[in-house]
Amino acid sequence: MATQENSVSQAEASQTKQNTPDPCIVVIFGASGDLTKRKLLPALYHLEQQNLLPEKFAVVGVARRDLSKTFAPDMKDGIVKGGGVDQGEAKLGKFMERVHYFATEFDNDEGYEGLKKYLADLDGKLGTGGRRLFYLAVAPEFFADITQRIAKHGMAKGEGDAWVRFIIEKPFGTDLASAKKLNDDIHAVLEEDQIFRIDHYLGKEVVQNIPIFRFANSIFEPLWNSNYIDHIQITGAESIGIEGRGPFYEGAGALRDVLQNHVMEVLSFVAMEPPTSFESAAVRIEKLKVWKAIRPVPIEDTARGQYGPGKVDGQDVIGYRQEDRVNPESQQVTYAAMKLSIDNLRWAGVPFYIRAGKRLASRVTEVVVVFKQPLRNIFGQGELEPNVLTLRIQPDDGISVQFGNKVPGPTTTIDQVAMTFNYAQKFGKSYASGYERLLLDAMLGDGTLFAEGAGVEATWTLMTPILEAWEGQIKDFPNYAAGSWGPKEADELLQRDGREWRVS
Ligand SMILES: NC(=O)C1=CN([C@@H]2O[C@H](COP(=O)(O)OP(=O)(O)OC[C@H]3O[C@@H](n4cnc5c(N)ncnc54)[C@H](OP(=O)(O)O)[C@@H]3O)[C@@H](O)[C@H]2O)C=CC1
Ligand SMILES: O=C1O[C@H](COP(=O)(O)O)[C@@H](O)[C@H](O)[C@H]1O
């Protein structure tokens, strides 16, 4: 007979997967860049702190400048500045010994031959067995070329059962045609199961928790449909501007930068049917079904904006057109919103309102589920307030449920109260950026939290006609002040349905 202790450990084992990867080398292209320093090296170090890296392991940074002497100290500095060095410098020192650097231009074939030899030598010294995780932390125009050159130099396939995987950064394409071309170019040399298209929102705890919240509990899912839900809002609001990324943002804008990827990924977890298991293939099928069920969006169901000068957190800030390396007559959007309808039985008649923008009043990323009112108000005090469930992704990540409650006293007065769960209060402060989980999953070969080729094309199928329609219509920009909640058209989008945007 199983003891209680035994049965708990069996249950725990069934809820967690293998969590230490095979010996391998993580090869980061774009190693002198911002992403590597601020996110990737700190994330790998956090994995080391939790003993989640294999014993036989190395990181090799690749970029054009000769940084062999300064790379490791520079990265160490990034890790220390990012916080979370709670096991002292000794652990960090040990981690930095595993960090190496190799300089080459991305289009230099000799460089790839040199890199191949460098990695093989490390395999020989460390016993990493030829397993590679290539991370393309580079500008999107390099994604296909670097992948193809790695393949040309015989590094895209491992010998025997040694795996070789690629993490490709975002943005994955700028419209449907470019996303398809990128998929084709990469598929010419890699199998789909080698490709990990990263969206760091899928590494955020609350986003990962959406399927758990829905499918590992029995009290929410029965209500998760058009019988009980009035509408759903997803907000990706940032108070920061474009942070010096003028040239990038001029080519991107809010729809390409955040709505097409981060917000659509979140939406798919909120709206999907229960997958048959939480394995990559099963989850991807359900996510794809959601995106494909979204009705083409009429242009009247969209709103866009660009911020002008204003005040954020009491400080004067410039408008988008005054930002460094931005066209003073730019038509680029720094705010995008739309109403989506999902054509399936679960969501018939339940609009999903989504929005993302820069220089808004505050930084809030959240999903707000607004429930229908009871069919009859037996308390006779006018309209009851709806129940609202908020999945707060950041900051102050947590979950809260708002409901009507009797105000203590001799009369029957109803007021809104909330039950709130806060991650930091329960689990303590976390330094995890989301990249920890995603890097670990890629080393373990688990693509559940990564985008798939067909999924990326499905979201671009939806978004490309909107971009084209917007590009054909000049707007009178700027149309919202920095520090506000965006353009009035976005408010009107909900007002005409008798609703309003909510932030918790
Ligand atoms: N930074 C962030 O927070 C985020 C970034 N991303 C994505 O990650 C990717 C990288 O972004 P980020 O780190 O900000 O970019 P950076 O511009 O900071 O870094 C680019 C890197 O590529 C190297 N590089 C550029 N051209 C060449 C070349 N011809 N040969 C060799 N090396 C070259 C640069 O080397 P050198 O230093 O010598 O110029 C640098 O290491 C992008 O796709 C971005 O969209 C996604 C989410 C967030
Ligand atoms: O990918 C991107 O995301 C960030 C927002 O990420 P967050 O983790 O800080 O919420 C956004 O600022 C940036 O423009 C975009 O490229």
Query: What is the average per-residue pLDDT within 86-98?
Result: 79
Q: Quickly state the pLDDT bin for 5 (edges 50, 70, 90).
A: very low
| Distance linking the first and last C-alpha atoms of the chain | 49
Q: Quickly state the pLDDT bin for 17 (edges 50, 70, 90).
A: low
DSSP states along 305-342: E-EESEEETTEEE--GGGSTT--TT----SEEEEEE-B
| Phi and psi angles of residue 232, each rounded to the nearest 5 degrees, phi first | -130, 140
* pLDDT given at position 432: 81
Q: Quickly state the pLDDT bin for 469 (edges 50, 70, 90).
A: very high
pLDDT of 433 above 90: no
Question: What digits encode the pLDDT tens for the residues 292-304?
Answer: 999 999 999 999 9
* pLDDT given at position 86: 62
Q: Where are the alpha helices (DSSP H) in 216-331?
A: 246-254, 264-271, 280-293
Give residue ranges with CB within 6 A of ligand 1. Answer: 30-35, 63-65, 105-106, 137-140, 169-170
Q: Which residues have CB under 8 Å from 130's CB, separation 6+?
A: 120, 123, 158, 159, 160, 162
* pLDDT given at position 429: 84
Query: What is the average per-residue pLDDT within 156-166?
Result: 96
* pLDDT given at position 45: 94
Query: What is the average per-residue pLDDT within 122-137?
Result: 98
From CA 131, how far away is CA 163, in angstroms rounded?
5
Any idea which of 75-84, 346-355, 372-381 has the lowest mean pLDDT?
75-84
ipTM of model over 0.95: yes
Q: Are 58 and 126 in contact (CB under 8 A)?
A: yes
The pick from 249, 257, 430, 438 for probing ligand 2's pocket by mutation, whose C-beta has the most ligand atoms within 8 angstroms, reads: 257
- From atom 16 of ligand 1, which residue's Cα is the shortest distance away? 33
* pLDDT given at position 11: 46
pLDDT of 413 above 60: yes
pLDDT of 68 above 90: no
Of 132, 125, 127, 129, residue with least CA distance to 62: 132
For the chain, how long is the longest CA-to-CA vector?
A: 84
pLDDT of 423 above 80: yes
Give residue ranges with CB within 6 A of ligand 2. Answer: 238, 257-258, 365
Quote the ligand 1 centre to 390 CA distance (angstroms): 35
Q: Are 100 and 122 in contact (CB under 8 A)?
A: yes
Half-sphere exposure of 77 (CA within 13 A, CB side): 6
Hey, which residues are catalytic here?
A: 262
Q: Does the pTM of the predicted model rise above 0.90?
A: yes
Q: Quickly state the pLDDT bin for 82 (edges 50, 70, 90).
A: confident
Quote the ligand 2 centre to 10 CA distance (angstroms): 39
Quote the ligand 1 centre to 322 CA distance (angstroms): 24
How many C-beta atoms lie closer than 10 Å to residue 448's C-beta?
Answer: 19
Question: What digits encode the pLDDT tens for the residues 352-402?
Answer: 999 999 999 999 999 999 999 998 899 986 788 999 999 999 999 999 999
The pick from 27, 28, 32, 35 for probing ligand 1's pocket by mutation, whose C-beta has the most ligand atoms within 8 angstroms, reads: 35
Quote the ligand 2 centre to 350 CA distance (angstroms): 28
* pLDDT given at position 18: 60
The pick from 138, 147, 261 for probing ligand 1's pocket by mutation, whose C-beta has the most ligand atoms within 8 angstroms, reads: 138
Nearest ligand atom owner, CA of 146: 1
| Phi and psi angles of residue 108, each rounded to the nearest 5 degrees, phi first | -105, 110
pLDDT of 273 above 50: yes
Quote the ligand 2 centre to 255 CA distance (angstroms): 12
Could you give the percent of the chain with pLDDT greater than 70?
95
Question: What digits encode the pLDDT tens for the residues 243-267?
Answer: 999 999 999 999 999 999 999 999 9
Q: Quickly state the pLDDT bin for 186 (edges 50, 70, 90).
A: very high
Q: Quickly state the pLDDT bin for 7 (edges 50, 70, 90).
A: very low
* pLDDT given at position 87: 56
pLDDT of 38 above 70: yes
Query: What is the average per-residue pLDDT within 334-360?
Result: 98
- From atom 4 of ligand 1, which residue's Cα is the shortest distance away? 35
User: Which residues are documented as binding site for NADP(+)?
Assistant: 30-37, 64, 105-106, 170
pLDDT of 2 above 50: no
Q: What is the 3-state secondary structure (H, E, C) of 110-135?
A: HHHHHHHHHHHHHHHHHCCCCCEEEE
